[in-house]
Structure 1
């Protein structure tokens, strides 16, 4: 599988973005039996097609588990379902790469939120 880690538009946060996640066995059928309790994670970087998150939880990504992410970049809450593509063990937790399915509306929402966030950070620096 080809990963898009080097795609041209990837925003890395200076301070990680707080988020919550829930594991889903099947991205198409969301019943209570298929969703775990919410866990806390941090978004390290994001693009319109995926994220890198950090959490203290070990997740067996080889079990075809999907993940529901809930976060706010600037003002609009974003809820996405993605698929784990890689994992790395870190000293105090784990990093995971998550791809999002192609969705023009969601991609545009992420881009607009990042632009707004960036504009605000530039105005604060002036």
Structure 2
């Protein structure tokens, strides 16, 4: 799996951001998984790096996640496709690509700028 890190905007959190996720599709078939906890390491306009203790099966399958998190009191619920994964000691990291629209992108960018202004030190 490959991931394009040439996004014009990428925000790395000083303290990883809490989030919840669940698997909603595997190979275009709907599934219902339990909600699990994770941390968002960084966010860009096209995706995020997420870390969790769980191992999500992503070899030779398309996995679609529903990810929820809050930035600046704004709750985001979005669908994300896993595009890469790697083991990081006792945790696993996943590169996720957003399925979003332009309004989502504008809201997320504004909230991240506000967050960065007050959490940069």
**TM-score higher than 0.5 here?**
yes
* Contact 1:75 1:113 (C-alpha < 8 Å) held by counterparts: no
Contact 2:78 2:100 in 1 (8 A): no
With the length of structure 2 as denominator, give the TM-score of the two structures: 0.89
How many pairs are equivalent? Answer: 120
Any stretches of 5+ residues in structure 2 without a counterpart? none
| Rg (Cα) greater in structure | 1
Q: Which deviations, in whole Å up to 9, do the C-alpha atoms of 1:50-84 show, x marking residues without a partner?
A: 00000000111132110000001221000000100
**How much has 1:4 moved relative to structure 2?**
2.1
- Structure with the largest fraction of strand: 2
Cα distance change on mapping 1:28 and 1:58 into 2, 3 Å: closer
Match of 2:16 in 1: 16
- Residues 90 and 27 of structure 1, relative CA distance in 2, 3 Å threshold: same
Q: CA deviation at 1:48?
A: 1.5
SS of match in other structure, 2:95: strand
| Unpaired runs of at least 5, structure 1 | none
Task: Give distance in 1, aligned partners of 2:27 and 2:80.
Answer: 8
**Aligned-partner Cα distance in 2 for 1:36–1:89:** 21
RMSD (CA atoms): 2.1
Measure how far apart 1:7 and its partner are.
1.5
Partner in structure 2 of residue 85 of structure 1: 83
For normalisation by structure 1, the TM-score amounts to 0.85
